[in-house]
Amino acid sequence: MQSLDQIFVTGKQWLLAFLPEALQPVGSILLVIAAIFGVFATLFAVTTILERKILGRIQNRFGPNRVGPFGFFQPAADGIKMLTKEDIVPRDADKIIHFLAPLALIIPVALALSVLPYGRNMVPVEFDAGLLFFFAVGASTELSVFMAGWSSRNKYSLVGAMRGIAQMISYEVPLVLSTVTVIMIVGSLSLVKIVEAQSGFLFGFLPSWHVFTPWGFAGFFLFMIAATAESNRSPFDLPEAESEIIAGYLTEYSGFKYALFFMGEYWGMFAISGLSVTLFLGGWNAPFPFLQFIPSYIWFFTKLVLIIFTFIWLRGTVPRLRLDQLMSFAWKFLLPLALTNIVVAAIWFFSRALQFPGALGLRWIFCAAILAVSYVWLGRGVAQAQRAKRVYQYAE
């Protein structure tokens, strides 16, 4: 089983052995780039068809089922269509920026994908400040939204970009703050170390993932909500709200540029889901000891696909928020809760010293109580739960 787990690592070393010593670092980098692009382009194709199929199921229809068995070759047909479509640049667009915007999305996202640990010893670029690097390049995707919106010289694009910038900057704050708890507990910014900290099993059989602690649970949900907004997914898909502003900053894009944008958004979603798996769901660790024979990368991608499924499920279920509601949700609810969560994580960290029997249960109850109280208290302000249930009169 060990060999199957490490098959990609040994495969890479075997390939590199053909190269002279001096060229091996370059070869290693090229192999990694090829692997990232190959794997995630495939995952993108699979996700588009799965999304349409699952949405079809949710909406009691079939989804695409004409191309290939069960419609599973639909992404190929879509790709060919996208490539052969006319690439329209509006007459008054800022042509250079209009061209650069999709690239400004896809490159940072690909860089962000390169620091995630996909399996045991399988991290493309391993360095100590992996998490910091992820957020640094992740935040620069906002630039592409602005470039696309401004250069298109279209009013809907402008409104969409305006919304996109406001939303992504606002949600960056709870996104980063929710990961601070993990850094505090693990004591490292290295994503590999964060995954290693979640290996091992509580009482010998329960997974010791961060999501199974009070602060980790709250952090995971804060992170996922902010991630939904960061990747412009429903119910936070305001920058490209179809029913309001056509397609937002994507309105004037067609053909291959549109396809690049589309792929960039999905890759962003994979990157941020992969980060949430790494930080909170134990990375490539198996959930139970007896399942450890399954290779680590399979665990990572299973968790990733489950999170993507949740995104799709959400998209098929809920309506969209309004911009002011979105903002107040970020600043009045997520941000204070994330700050509270940092305090809770600190309490959890320092109460490790308590060693008497039942200390773990006590820590659990105390931390969970703080979070529950602040959740209810903050939620009252945002959810307008005071809203009376309306009763309707009838006239005979």
Partner 1 sequence: MAIETTFQPKATLGRTAPGNYTLLPKTPAGAIGGIDGTVLEVAMGPHHPSTHGVFRMDVSLDGETVVKLKPVFGYLHRNHEKIAENTTYLGSVPYTDRLDYLCSMTNNWAYALSVERLAGLQVPERAEYIRVITAELTRLVNHCSLIGFLMQDMGAMGTPLMYAFREREKILDLFESLSGSRMMCNYMRFGGCRCELPSGWIEQAKKVVTSFPEFLDHFEALLSENEILLARTQGVGVLSKELAINASITGPMLRASGVNYDIRKVDKYGIYDRFSFRVPLGEHGDVFDRYMMRVLEMRESLKLLEQALAQIPSGPIIDPKAKLRGFRQKPGEAYARIEGPKGELGFYLISDGSPNPYRYRVRPPSLINLTILEDMCLGQTIADAVIILGSVDIVLGEVDR
List contacts with partner 1 (CB under 8 A): 55, 58-61, 91-92, 94, 150, 153, 155-156, 158-159, 162-163, 234-235, 237-238, 241-246, 315-325, 383-384, 387, 390, 392-396
Q: Shortest approach of partner 1 to residue 59 CB, angstroms?
A: 4
Of the pair 149, 216, the CB lying nearest partner 1 is at 149
Residue 387 beta carbon to partner 1: minimum distance, rounded to whole angstroms: 7
Distance between CA atoms of 185 and 363, rounded to whole angstroms? 15
The C-alpha atoms of residue 365 and residue 214 are separated, in whole angstroms, by 9
Query: Least distance from C-beta 298 to partner 1, angstroms?
Result: 31
Nearer to partner 1, 17 or 383 (CB): 383
Give the separation between CA 294 and CA 2, rounded to whole angstroms. Answer: 10
Which residue reads 């994330």 in tokens?
338
Q: Considering only the C-alpha atoms of the chain, give the largest distance between any 2 of them, rounded to a whole number of Å.
A: 91
Helix, strand, or coil (residue 303): helix
How far, CA to CA in Å, does 158 sit from each of 67, 148, 152, 354?
37, 9, 8, 56
- Residues whose CB is less than 8 angstroms from the CB of residue 82 and which lie 6 or more positions away in sequence, other chains included: 255, 256, 258, 259
Smaller CB separation from partner 1, 155 or 352: 155
Q: Measure the CA–CA gap between 285 and 212, rounded to whole angstroms.
A: 14
Q: Which is nearer to partner 1, 31 or 58 (CB)?
A: 58
- Nearer to partner 1 by Cβ, of 356 and 394: the residue is 394
CB of 87 to partner 1, least distance (A): 21
Q: How far is the CB of 224 from partner 1 (least distance, A)?
A: 17
Cβ nearer to partner 1, comparing 198 with 234: 234
The answer for residues whose C-beta is within 8 angstroms of residue 71's C-beta and 6 or more apart is: 49, 53, 63, 64, 65
Q: How many CA atoms lie within 13 A of 391 on its CB side?
A: 0
CB of 74 to partner 1, least distance (A): 18
Nearest approach in angstroms of CB 60 to partner 1 is 6
Q: Choose between 85 and 153: whose C-beta lies nearer to partner 1.
A: 153
What would the DSSP string read from start to end of 82-117? HHHS-----TTS-HHHHHHHHHHHHHHHHHHHTTS-
The smaller minimum CB distance to partner 1, of residues 21 and 324, is found at: 324
CA distances from 136 to 126, 131, 148, 226, 359 (A): 16, 9, 20, 16, 39
Q: Find, among 60, 206, 32, the residue nearest to 116 by Cα.
A: 32
As a whole number of angstroms, the distance between CA 393 and CA 387 comes to 18
CB of 61 to partner 1, least distance (A): 6
- In this structure, what DSSP letter does residue 116 have? S
Q: Which is nearer to partner 1, 90 or 287 (CB)?
A: 90
Shortest Cβ 326–partner 1 spacing (Å): 10
Decide: 329 and 174 in contact? Cβ < 8 Å. no
